[in-house]
Chains A and B, each alone.
Chain A
Amino acid sequence: MGKTIETQVLVIGGGATGTGIARDLALRGVKVALIDKSDLNAGASGANHGLLHSGARYVSSDAEAAMECRSEGLLLKQIAPHCIEETGGLFVAVPGDDEAYIADFPRMCEASGIPCRPLDLKDAMGMEPCLSQDLIAAFEVSDAAIDPFKLSIENLNDALGRGGEYYDHSCLEEFILEHDKIAGARVLNTKTRETFLIKADIYVSATGAWAGRVASCAGVNIPMVYSKGSLLVTGQRMATRVINRLRQASDGDILVPGGVVSIIGTTSVRTDSLDKIFPSVDEVDLIINQGKQMIPALGNRRYIRAYCGVRPLVSAGGDGDRSLSRGFSLLDHAGDGVDNFITITSGKLTTYRLMAEKTSDMVCEKLGISSACMTRDLALPQTAGGKWTEPGVSLRQGAFSHKKEDHTLCECEMVPASAIDSIVSSIRKNSGKPDLLSIALRSRLGKGPCQGSSCSVRVLSHLYDRGEMTGTEGVDGLRRFLNERWKGEHALLWGTSLAQSSLKEMIHCGLFSLELESGE
């Protein structure tokens, strides 16, 4: 048994919610440690649409969630503008869509206090030329795009600056229960395989879809169902605004801009597995075939990547998964016989701050601390570590000055060596070990059209030159990187993407023979 870490609150799960809680508590002067079994945003927070909901999507199915989205969306635009692009959004319908729903939409929006402006169809098509010529209805709402990676990194950085601690690749394995309390958490470092102990007064599980598993470590049962959703990234940005299909939530009905790309999704597929999931060919085709009804160009677009996430739904009956409430579940397990254990799950990225506030309120109440939440008023600071997550950001902002010796390591996404160096040093600061995957998580590395064929090799040799890597760490990391990226590629391989990917295979298998010596 290794070291023991003592803290007031242990937060398990480094997604939007966990990092949000870490910051909220740190702001209230509470000592907090955050762990994630892999790394920041490894769960749904790294696998969503990046839509900062105006609320309009939920006006029919869940008015309460709609109103939460509306007010939190407005607030986040104030406190975290650097993580948000205020794109605005449209809701559009095409022939065949439910006319009654369309007719009712403005009234439902009004009922939830969500501003919604009917548009002349010509105007709508003028605003977004990619739209189908056959629109039958269009409305304008105040949707926006949010960069979930930047958001979590900034929340974490602020928490770290206020005395918080973060341990990546640290998986909660076991709770040590004593009487009606958790006395300690046994945590496994999945890289070094060392175990350590974290002792806290309060334990918060912000583990999203994994909440049921974590709760079971404390002998608590949370009945959950899982719904997988897949998303596709287009090679170029297709629209200025968010475009929603004006109908009951369904497949392939939202297009969200993300910097220089767009993201179309999603699907809803029941799943039992949380870890070995990837977008399937069938989902990809479903999204494209549905999406092209409102945006015809989606039918012949180049897609550079697909990814998927799991929506954790605390089960409550109902017919489809989308009809289950997406409002959040905050559970005080005192009622289950574990006094100092709290679970926060479900909900939305859009409402992460509210979820963090409510959770932190509960934590403080248990700790007997009376300080109030400050995240409503205090802007989220902007730090360097949060840059480089938005696609192509370097082209527009020149966030890192190009020094004379600063060469570009990733040509598709224009990532210079200095950006890699600064990411590496921020990983080191958190006592992590940099490898291609952890760098890719914090940058656009490997996310451009070349799919990481050569930039992976350039970055590796750069890391070797800097002494950041030794021995065979590089090849081992490259294998992991290629296999991980592959999850989001293989269902999208036709046309030009297939050609690019075949070059990658020619280099990495045809020449380097990486498949031969792999340990797996």
Chain B
Amino acid sequence: MTDLNSIDCDLLVIGAGFAGMVAAARASHLGLRTVLAGNSGSLIFVSGLMDYLGVYPMDAKGVLDDPAQGLACLQSENSTHPYGGISHEQIIQCFEFVKWILGKEGLAYHLSPGRNLPVLTAMGTFKPSFMVPRTMEKGSLLFGEKKRLLLIDIKGLQGFSARQAAGGLAKTLDEVICLTVEIPGITKTIPPIILAELFEDPGVQESFVRQVLPFSNRVDIAGMPAVCGVHDSLGIQQKIEKMTGLDLFEIPGIPPSIPGLRLKNAFEKRLAALGVKFLSNTRIKDPVFNGGKFIFTGVTDSGKLSISAKGAVLGIGRFFSKGLNAGRDKIMETLFQLDVRQPVTRSLWHGTNFLTRQGHKINQAGIETDQRFRPLKKGGQPVFPGLYAVGSILAHNDWMRLKSGSGVSLVSACTAVDDFYQGVTKAKI
């Protein structure tokens, strides 16, 4: 197999989910020769919200207003959580980095350092998040303020009903009005992505505005599903705000997610600008560590290639992304066959109540690392010097309960890459 196409780089980032994207951006930003391999399609599932820490401890009543408080509590308990060795300031810097990267591609995010934001979801619940798309920002101001709200749904868009999103709001707000907007020509079901593209059409925007305008005196603010354009969503939103005289915000819902698609597009563009080589739709297999270097095989539909790298960042996700695989009796990591921290038997994986606040033990399973995110061997030593694990594959982080998903991903990705970079530069000196 010597005639394989081959690539050489400083760092191979494996997995093009959110964590992998951040790692690749960070690495190339630092000047490392970076290759990213994987399928960025998984971003279409993510809500676009970036949580830091919304609940801690898991069985706490209520949610955290200030994530730093939860972090302090987590650290005072010597928690094994991935945030265990990282300061609040470092975490904020990582968020700011991601905000900056995405901002370069016109995808604007908002965060207020000392505070979580309650984000209204399509289900009518409030989700505590930290860094949110600017197009969703105003929705988080609903809480506490007496306001008159217009909730808009769109005929043909399944899984989003204004009445449902309004569900519990009638109690807290002065007035909630629900409106169904019809998009000209749409009589049947419309996939969210097509709808979002339609929203870029000025004709569609005008028709939308015409239907909303009669309510502009009766309400202060309007919410709609997150389909307000694929590109330049904020620009379109601001335009509609001007035309209606209303504040507007988007509401996240079930996948496929347009805010996720916007992330995918923004990351892909930025990485290209930064000179990252992106092997999309490439699966990485058969890692070999030899003479201080990794050699991987990249497999695509059309063939194979060989990638050699000084370091590797493993951001291959959990079960849904096939980074972890569970048989009937055991959970395995699928690329390096690293040790997976896990409950002793399957009967402990899940509790009998799905929506338990304590979460399921299997959600804590994953790769254990040191504070620099290097996977550890049984004895506590790093498995390989240049190997890092980042994102949702990490152990001790039930992100769905802690509301810490993207936060842990971006913090682990930045921290791991920084550590690798320091190692490389030290070696050069």
**In contact, A515 and B401 (Cβ under 8 angstroms):** yes
Which secondary structure characterizes the binding site on chain A? helix
**In contact, A469 and B164 (Cβ under 8 angstroms):** yes
**In contact, B47 and A511 (Cβ under 8 angstroms):** yes
Cβ of A239 within 8 Å of any chain B Cβ, yes or no, is: no
> Which residues does chain B contribute within 8 Å of A520, judged by CB atoms?
353, 355
Cβ of A101 within 8 Å of any chain B Cβ, yes or no, is: no
**In contact, B170 and A483 (Cβ under 8 angstroms):** no
Stretch in contact with the other chain, from B68-76, B120-128, B197-205, B228-236:
B120-128
Cβ of A69 within 8 Å of any chain B Cβ, yes or no, is: no
How many whole Å from B345's CB to the nearest CB in chain A?
A: 8
Report how far A472 CA is from B180 CA in the complex, Å.
19
Report how far A500 CA is from B180 CA in the complex, Å.
32
**Contact string, A409-432, partner B, CB cutoff 8 A, digits 1/0?**
100000000000000000000000
State whether A514 and B125 are in contact (beta carbons under 8 Å apart), knowing that A404-B188, A458-B158 are contacts in the complex: yes
Cβ of A397 within 8 Å of any chain B Cβ, yes or no, is: no
How many whole Å from A434's CB to the nearest CB in chain B?
A: 15
State whether A493 and B164 are in contact (beta carbons under 8 Å apart), knowing that A511-B127, A513-B121 are contacts in the complex: no
> Which residues does chain B contribute within 8 Å of A407, judged by CB atoms?
158, 188-189
State whether A510 and B354 are in contact (beta carbons under 8 Å apart), knowing that A407-B158, A457-B123 are contacts in the complex: no
**In contact, A512 and B123 (Cβ under 8 angstroms):** yes
Size of the chain B interface, CB-CB below 8 angstroms: 60
**In contact, A516 and B319 (Cβ under 8 angstroms):** no
**In contact, A454 and B188 (Cβ under 8 angstroms):** no
**Contact string, A32-45, partner B, CB cutoff 8 A, digits 1/0?**
00000000000000
> Which residues does chain A contribute within 8 Å of B254, judged by CB atoms?
453-454, 457-458, 507
**In contact, A478 and B354 (Cβ under 8 angstroms):** no
Cβ of A405 within 8 Å of any chain B Cβ, yes or no, is: yes
How many whole Å from B51's CB to the nearest CB in chain A?
A: 9
> Which residues does chain A contribute within 8 Å of B163, judged by CB atoms?
464-465, 467, 469-470
Report how far A454 CA is from B345 CA in the complex, Å.
30
> Which residues does chain A contribute within 8 Å of B170, judged by CB atoms?
471
Quick one: which of A454, A479, A500, A512 has the most chain B CB within 10 A?
A512
Report how far A471 CA is from B327 CA in the complex, Å.
42
> Which residues does chain B contribute within 8 Å of A516, judged by CB atoms?
55, 63, 125, 357
Specify which of B63, B123, B347, B362 is in contact with A514 (CB 8 Å cutoff): B123
Docked complex: B172-197 residues within 8 A CB-CB of A: 180, 187-189
Cβ of B405 within 8 Å of any chain A Cβ, yes or no, is: yes
**In contact, B352 and A487 (Cβ under 8 angstroms):** yes
Stretch in contact with the other chain, from A75-83, A184-192, A274-282:
A274-282
Docked complex: B228-260 residues within 8 A CB-CB of A: 252-255
Cβ of A502 within 8 Å of any chain B Cβ, yes or no, is: yes
> Which residues does chain B contribute within 8 Å of A464, judged by CB atoms?
161, 163-164
Quick one: which of A470, A493, A502, A507 has the most chain B CB within 10 A?
A502
Quick one: which of A482, A503, A513 has the most chain B CB within 10 A?
A513
State whether A508 and B124 are in contact (beta carbons under 8 Å apart), knowing that A281-B346, A407-B189, A516-B63 are contacts in the complex: no
> Which residues does chain A contribute within 8 Å of B346, judged by CB atoms?
281, 494
How many whole Å from B369's CB to the nearest CB in chain A?
A: 21
Quick one: which of B122, B318, B320, B354 has the most chain A CB within 10 A?
B354
How many whole Å from A17's CB to the nearest CB in chain B?
A: 29
Cβ of A384 within 8 Å of any chain B Cβ, yes or no, is: no
**In contact, B347 and A486 (Cβ under 8 angstroms):** no
Cβ of B11 within 8 Å of any chain A Cβ, yes or no, is: no
Cβ of B287 within 8 Å of any chain A Cβ, yes or no, is: no
State whether A461 and B354 are in contact (beta carbons under 8 Å apart), knowing that A494-B327, A503-B45, A507-B255 are contacts in the complex: no
Interface residues of B (CB under 8 A from A): 45, 47, 49, 54-55, 63, 121-128, 153, 158-161, 163-164, 167-168, 170, 180, 187-189, 252-255, 318-320, 322, 325-328, 345-347, 349-357, 360, 362-363, 399-401, 403, 405
Q: Give 28 CB contacts A-B under 8 Å.
A: A278-B352, A280-B347, A409-B158, A461-B159, A461-B160, A464-B163, A467-B163, A471-B168, A472-B168, A474-B167, A475-B164, A486-B353, A486-B354, A487-B352, A490-B352, A493-B350, A495-B326, A498-B319, A498-B326, A503-B45, A506-B45, A506-B400, A507-B254, A509-B401, A513-B128, A514-B355, A517-B125, A520-B353
